[in-house]
Amino acid sequence: MIIAVTGGKGGTGKSTVATGLAVEYARKKKTMLVDADVECPNDHILLSVKRKWFKNINQIIPKWDLSKCTKCGKCAGVCKQEAVVFVKDKYPAFVKDVCIGCKACIVACPEKAISESKKVIGKVYTGKNYNVDLVSGELKLGELASGEVVSELRRTADELKDTLRTEHVIVDSSAGIGCPVIASLINTDYIVAVTEPTPSALHDLKRVLYLAEHFKIRHGIVINKFDLEKKFCSKIEEFASRKRIPVISRFPYHDDFVRSNILMKPVVEVNSKYKDFFKELIINIEK
């Protein structure tokens, strides 16, 4: 089973839920946690995993053979990223950092002066703790293609899953609803949407649940810090019941969660009473 943990808004406790879920699953089954929050991965910190480099993630970029170039400017004209700068009667200049590797310039060049090269845009790391196999992706600083990095990370996790005989995969997505989140959600069996009782979290939750419905993936809501604002929590419950989306767990607000971050331990290891919350969550996911 592949379970994605997401939520729309950042800071709702997504990674706490993803790591806790992975640790609880790993007590009985071979479990992999894929940290797909590639711009700011931190599951290795939450689980005290010393990550090891596993592979680089590359992106195709164009390479110019200026001896063939006739300075027509067509490569710059087709580049939507403005990664090719062209001034009349000069050779085109390439701004590598903003290139997304779409290859339009390669196709457009009438002189076949542009060929394929590659650049490193991210890395995959692996590690293990609490019986959880961690596969962690990281976008290179300054690079834009986080969606591509997540897609390649998922492909790598799929290959490793066969080698490691993984039974359960938890994918911890980034915040938002953009390319990297979509790449985290596709081909999963269940989406756990983590929210908190605030208007902005509910707004973002609705957007991410739209994705879950669009991709027809089973999903449920976890309300984190539900007891902080019970009035607004009932608004989320009303929304869930109107949409017939199950609320699969409610986590209280407690400094155990902060201590879990400071001690770099999953919350179930800080206070064993949270095991019951994660057990309930697993039962509801598997219903």
* Chain residues in the site for ligand SF4 (CB under 6 A): 62, 64, 69-75, 78-79, 81, 83-84, 92, 99-105, 108-109, 111, 113-114
C-alpha span between 6 and 201 (Å, rounded): 12
Closest distance between ligand SF4 and the C-beta of residue 225, in Å? 42
Between 73 and 252, name the residue whose CB sits nearer to ligand SF4: 73
Side-chain-side CA neighbours of 184 within 13 Å: the count stands at 32
Closest distance between ligand SF4 and the C-beta of residue 76, in Å? 7
Between 62 and 147, name the residue whose CB sits nearer to ligand SF4: 62
In DSSP terms, which residues pair with 98 in a beta bridge? none
Give Cα separations from 185 to 7, 85, 167, 171, 198 (angstroms).
Answer: 11, 36, 18, 8, 24
Between 94 and 226, name the residue whose CB sits nearer to ligand SF4: 94
Backbone angles phi, psi at 22, to 5 degrees: -65, -45
Give Cα separations from 205 to 175, 191, 202, 286 (angstroms).
Answer: 10, 12, 5, 22
Between 118 and 273, name the residue whose CB sits nearer to ligand SF4: 118
Closest distance between ligand SF4 and the C-beta of residue 68, in Å? 7
Between 40 and 95, name the residue whose CB sits nearer to ligand SF4: 95
Closest distance between ligand SF4 and the C-beta of residue 95, in Å? 8
- Collapsing DSSP states into helix, strand and coil, what is residue 280? helix
User: Tokens representing 100?
Assistant: 């997304």
In DSSP terms, which residues pair with 118 in a beta bridge? 60
Closest distance between ligand SF4 and the C-beta of residue 110, in Å? 6
Which residue do the tokens 């800080």 mark? 270
Closest distance between ligand SF4 and the C-beta of residue 140, in Å? 16
Backbone angles phi, psi at 168, to 5 degrees: -130, 135
Between 84 and 181, name the residue whose CB sits nearer to ligand SF4: 84
Residue 84: partners with Cβ closer than 8 Å, 6 or more residues away: 75, 76, 92, 93, 94, 95, 105
DSSP strand pairing (168-172 vs 2-6): parallel
C-alpha span between 73 and 92 (Å, rounded): 7
Between 73 and 246, name the residue whose CB sits nearer to ligand SF4: 73
Closest distance between ligand SF4 and the C-beta of residue 167, in Å? 40
C-alpha span between 64 and 19 (Å, rounded): 45
Between 103 and 279, name the residue whose CB sits nearer to ligand SF4: 103
Closest distance between ligand SF4 and the C-beta of residue 147, in Å? 14
Q: What is the DSSP letter of 103?
A: -
